[in-house]
Amino acid sequence: MGSKEAPFIELPLKIQSDPMESMHRHEDENRLPDGFEDYYREQFGPRWPQLLSSLLEPSTRVDRLNAFFESIPTPPAKSMDASWSTMPGVCHAFRVAHALHDPRRDARGLLETYRMDPASMIAASALEVQPGDRVLDMCAAPGGKSLLLAEAMGDAGRLVANELSPTRRAKLKTILEDYLPGEQRKHIQVTGHDATRWGLHEPDHYDRVLLDAPCSSERHVLGKEKERARWKPGRSKQLSRRQYALLCAALGACKPGGRIVYATCALSRLENDGVVERLLKRKGDQCVKWQTSFPEPFVEATEHGWRILPDHSDGWGPMYWSILQKRTGAML
């Protein structure tokens, strides 16, 4: 078990949000699923009204510069003004303050920037991938976190980016092709396996495992009428069963001494600390929580991990993550 302080990342000023994410927010925001408010008010208490309000706002995105783009690290020539600024601690990240920006392509056809939630960058960076590592991204689509892992891995090591859904896997392949040069993609394998069985097929194999698990994704639910209609109070409990199975598989696939980051964009404790707690109770002889700290004021410590919620972070998240280390000598 180790202890290390994560790099400080400054809390940004208000970032221009993507209006497409909540085009009809104002007309739909009062039509919440039956039982939704009661379920989350019980967990968040007096904080819930402010948190709900922030969830109904457009989510924050940053444009992160592609480390493989040929002209890094300078910002785009057309944007050398106050609308762009660096984000210390996040690889080549720039944020759009006033206008949306369409990325350019370099001579090889690689796109310059990738738009994503900065909270996702922090969660993926917590894995601390090193050059030469064998890395597994168990639920990789759409691909933003895989890009971060590939950059950290460099040209030494191997990344397996897995996605069960054929549609999402096709999107993942497109993202990797748009952002990574051919020589880098030689170190990456895209697969479509049921990740719950990974530990059986490649036990004790990976130095680092990222499990960004399928989850309730409440912010996404609130933004789409079809998803709101499908939400039920028992959804988190149902999802937590698969999340636990996936986390057990991640533990099985990880090398002794290796590290796992379990992450979701869910609010429910059942899907976050609850899943990690279950693993520690049942398989605590095989893994331990990795001790570190995140000094940013908007990162909140939980019982078994950390989270970023939009009401305290100017629109970031939600994002939860926990870091686990497989015990040396642990056998599954």
What is the token pair recorded at 48? 């819930």
Does residue 139 carry a catalytic annotation? no
Amino acid letter, 217: S
From start to end of the chain, where are the E strands? Answer: 3-5, 62-65, 93-94, 113-116, 134-137, 158-162, 188-191, 206-212, 254-264, 287-289, 291-293, 300-301, 306-308, 319-326
Selected catalytic residue, list 91, 139, 265, 287: 265
Three-state secondary-structure class, residue 310: helix
Return the residue matching tokens 């989270």. 307
Look at residues 156, 264, 142 and name the one whose alpha carbon lies nearest to residue 210: 264
Look at residues 243, 313, 229, 308 and name the one whose alpha carbon lies nearest to residue 275: 243
Look at residues 222, 183, 206, 302 and name the one whose alpha carbon lies nearest to residue 257: 206
186 burial (CB, 10 Å; 0-12 / 13-18 / 19+) is: exposed
Look at residues 322, 327, 245, 220 and name the one whose alpha carbon lies nearest to residue 284: 327
Return the residue matching tokens 């636990």. 244
Q: Give strand pairing partners of 320.
A: 264, 307
Q: Which residues, 6 or more positions from 110, have their beta carbon under 8 angstroms from its beta carbon?
A: 66, 68, 69, 70, 178, 179, 180, 181
Q: Which residues belong to the active site?
A: 265
